[in-house]
Structure 1
Amino acid sequence: MSIFDGLFRSRDKPSNRTAGSGYTFYMGGSTAGKLVTERSAMQMTAVYACVRILSESIASLPVHLYQYESEGNKAKAVKHPLYRILHDEPNPEMTSFVFRETLMTHLLLWGNAYAQIIRNGKGEVIGLYPLMPNRMTVDRNSNSQIIYQYQIQDSDAHTGKTGSVTLKPSEVLHVPGLGFDGLVGYSPIAMAKNAIGLSIATEEYGARFFANGATPGGILEFPGTVKNPESIRESWNKGFSGNNAHKVAILEEGMKYTPISISPEQAQFLETRKFQIDEIARIFRVPPHMVGDLEKSSFSNIEQQSLEFVKYTLEPWIIRWEQSLNRALLSETEKPDYFVKFNVDGLLRGDYQSRMNGYAIARQNGWMSANDIRSLEQLDLIPDELGGNLYLINGNMTKLQDAGIFANKENNNEKVLEVEEPDGAGESGESKPKHSDPGKNPVPERHHR
């Protein structure tokens, strides 16, 4: 028996709990007395908003398969069979957007995203189909190799199989979330069930308050003895609760009404609900302004918060996706030459003036051409004969090693020429250098600056 058998023998389904490495986080009842599951949590507006924002953000990013070329360049591998599956259509039943949105929703609710990989006889990927995480069990066989067991239901496509099917790691695209063992992620809903349960409780309290609360409400005082108090109470609730709330009450025979109800503001009901929205946004690391809480947002910082959302929230998810796709979909011979990459340039564009200033700096320093800029702005390219692909640089800039080239030329032109004697001074008629007499004024030497 392998040592791994005791550690990773059974992975319970996330539908009722998530477990691993000795830690168990049960789904279900919370300390607020409310049942918390993935589906009940999605009925909370804050949870639904966070899941929708992250799922749609990941799904809307362009994803491409690239191939390394010479000198460190890369190009889109559009002729590779995997390119169309990732970029356009992973299977005949859904688009790439819907596929990634579905898997990202599973990842946020259950902590794991699974998809079955369909290959042809050559081992090439020809299709990807999402699998429900609450029906997947990750286990190890007798040889300590990871296996995936999936429960088949009647709602699945008819494959002629019933019960459970065992899939090999090469047949499953698994994107795990945060976990303790690196193999299976844990559901954020299970981790934060008490915070979500409190949100459900406060929302239900508010719904009951406005649906069933009698308005006006308080104590009915009657001089003397009330023979049938239940009848009076039922008559009052029937006349002034529900759809009849806020109607004018007419009192008879000295009856007096004293309101004693506490408003939701006095009970800090609204503050509690607002805090729970921030609490849920904190779970998914989504800026509050993206779920409708603009209390701490302004025109001066909302753009910076959006950039931080891309950097600190989306970037870890993107890297998790990219590495899982590279590991599961590329063969060992393809991994040195190909890689999957999400493009986040569209989310980091900034406002128009900031983009133009950035393009101007890049253009003047020679690391972007006019066509590079126009392609980012979705504009038609300039033909080569008009200089669309030229990389320019300011004329007052040069390499550091050539910084003294003009100074050296100037010094060469100013070299001191030796003074020659008149003709016939030498025996052969050649001119000789004229030596200065120590007693006479020497020829002044020219000093270089």
Structure 2
Amino acid sequence: MKFPRLFKRSSPEPTTPAYDTYYDRLTGFPGVAGVDVNTTTAEGISAVYACVAAISETVGSLPLDVYRNTDNGREKAKSHPLYRLLHDAPNNWQSALEFREQMQRHVLLRGNAYAEIVWNPNGSVKALLPMHPDSVTVLRSSLGNLVYDHVDGKGNQRRLLADEVLHLRYHSDDGILGRSPIQVARDTIGLALAERTHGAKMFEQGTKLSGVIETPPGTTKEQAGQIRESWSAGQAGIANHGKTAVLPQGATFKTVSMTLEDAEWIEARRLSIVETARLFRVPPVMIGDMEAANYSNVVELARFFVTNTLRRHLVMWEQAVNRACINNPAFFVEHNVEGLLRGDSLARANFYQRGIEDGWMLRSEVRRIENLPAIEGIDDAQTQDAAPAAGGPNAQPDAADQDAQAKGAAA
């Protein structure tokens, strides 16, 4: 049983930083490509935004229900206080989808997600309040317990104990703080940013004529400056794209930079999409890269997304909520991914047909999985067909038949 904070120790224990470097926050220092990489600039890359959206939107929209263990298996515990928080609204201003999507985005972009757990006096969870990772500092007490210092928007600091915080981690090195793919592969994201900047500057100039102008001997510095300004005014910018350049007598233009074709810029941009998808373990088809997609594998790629991308995040949520928010081991939370794994209509129909014919699935169960209304008596014919028919090959003879057979054998 967990109790509200008023029953805990009145004086906090001495604390020390749980880590030497605050590596869970991006510093924005330039990487190898010479561009600043942080969560804001990284989300400006369409592939990064699409990967984060694909994972966070799916995780946030999947049903996360509370179940109770029973003698016959399990059943939904709709009366449990946590059921409403995870299924409807965890606080006064967010829906369950908005809350879980926000938390999942924090995990992917910053490696950590935090939510304050508000407890009722009876030991049940009253609300879950999200906290921005940049406003939370993780400390370790003298007894080895974790505590969380949270600074609100007004600059006020509060200290929360470990059982007052729902903490989600991603790819942690020390078991305390997680790391995001943007932090680990900063240079990969920086290269994508540099390629985007290169293309934007190229189109901003509006011309591929990038190089040097050679002037005849005797040209003064002032004259060279006038030639440069005249060239920039007449050729730079989208509005001047395609205009014919005119140079002063004796001046020549020589290209010294690579064109987009020489640098294979378009192919490099596509490679950046694939590398970004690889960082987040998302199939490129899920973020709009349809080059490797076709009618025969798109369903399998979607199933791959569930089993190889989402599974880790879903288990993270389930184990964290079970550990931090549920007091009774008879209850647990679990996602329902059946809708994502159903496949096409023909595959589902064949699957259900085999289950019904082989006797390990009822027609009423099929209708429940497909979210169809129940039909009274729909399983009666199926259970009768499954029972051995009287006089059939599997029927057992009664006592009179056994006596008659015995007398016939004796005669």
- TM-score by length of structure 1 reads 0.78
Which structure has the highest helix share of the two? Answer: 2
- Name the SS for the 2:72 alignment partner: helix
Using the aligned pairs only, state the percent identity. Answer: 36
Q: What is the distance in 2 between the residues matched to 1:218 and 1:182? A: 53
Partner of 2:128: 128
Match of 1:235 among 206, 230, 242: 230
Match of 1:272 among 253, 256, 268: 268
Larger Rg: 1
Instruction: Answer whether contact 1:26 1:190 (CA < 8 A) is retained.
Output: no
Q: What is the distance in 2 between the residues matched to 1:139 and 1:42? A: 29
Partner of 1:377: 370
How far has the Cα of 1:12 moved from its partner?
Answer: 5.6
Instruction: Answer whether contact 2:29 2:37 (CA < 8 A) is retained.
Output: yes
Deviation track 1:28-59 (CA, whole Å, cap 9, x = no partner) reads 33122222112221111111111111100100
Partner of 1:388: 378
How far has the Cα of 1:375 moved from its partner?
Answer: 2.3
Alignment of 1:154-193 (within 5 A): 154=154, 163-193=156-186
How much is the aligned-residue C-alpha RMSD, in angstroms? 3.1
Instruction: Answer whether contact 2:85 2:96 (CA < 8 A) is retained.
Output: yes
Instruction: Answer whether contact 2:24 2:177 (CA < 8 A) is retained.
Output: no
Q: What is the distance in 2 between the residues matched to 1:411 and 1:179? A: 76
> Is 1:88 paired with 2:78?
no
Counterparts in 2 of 1:258 and 1:378: CA distance versus 1, 3 Å: same
How far has the Cα of 1:150 moved from its partner?
Answer: 1.2
Alignment of 1:16-35 (within 5 A): 17-18=23-24, 28-35=29-36
Q: What is the distance in 1 between the residues matched to 2:257 and 2:381? A: 74
How far has the Cα of 1:258 moved from its partner?
Answer: 5.7
- Name the SS for the 2:225 alignment partner: helix
Partner of 1:287: 283
Counterparts in 2 of 1:238 and 1:11: CA distance versus 1, 3 Å: farther
Partner of 2:104: 104
Q: What is the distance in 1 between the residues matched to 2:410 and 2:141? A: 95
- Name the SS for the 2:109 alignment partner: helix
Partner of 1:10: 17
How far has the Cα of 1:285 moved from its partner?
Answer: 0.4
1:40 aligned partner, one-letter code = T
Query: Which range moves more in the overlay, 110-119 or 252-261?
Result: 252-261
Counterparts in 2 of 1:229 and 1:318: CA distance versus 1, 3 Å: same
Instruction: Answer whether contact 1:117 1:129 (CA < 8 A) is retained.
Output: yes
Match of 2:244 among 248, 251, 275: 248
Instruction: Answer whether contact 1:215 1:241 (CA < 8 A) is retained.
Output: no
Partner of 2:10: none
- Name the SS for the 1:315 alignment partner: helix
How far has the Cα of 1:226 moved from its partner?
Answer: 4.4
Structure 2 gap ranges (5+): 1-12
- Name the SS for the 2:188 alignment partner: helix
Query: Which range moves more in the overlay, 410-419 or 212-221?
Result: 410-419
Q: What is the distance in 1 between the residues matched to 2:58 and 2:403? A: 63
> Is 1:362 paired with 2:355?
yes
Deviation track 1:272-326 (CA, whole Å, cap 9, x = no partner) reads 2222211111111000111222222222222111101100110111011001011
Partner of 1:37: 38
Structure 1 gap ranges (5+): 20-24, 155-161, 420-449
Counterparts in 2 of 1:11 and 1:418: CA distance versus 1, 3 Å: closer
Instruction: Answer whether contact 1:12 1:18 (CA < 8 A) is retained.
Output: no
- Name the SS for the 1:36 alignment partner: coil
Partner of 2:9: none
Instruction: Answer whether contact 1:149 1:165 (CA < 8 A) is retained.
Output: yes
- TM-score by length of structure 2 reads 0.85
How far has the Cα of 1:262 moved from its partner?
Answer: 3.0
Match of 1:203 among 196, 208, 223: 196
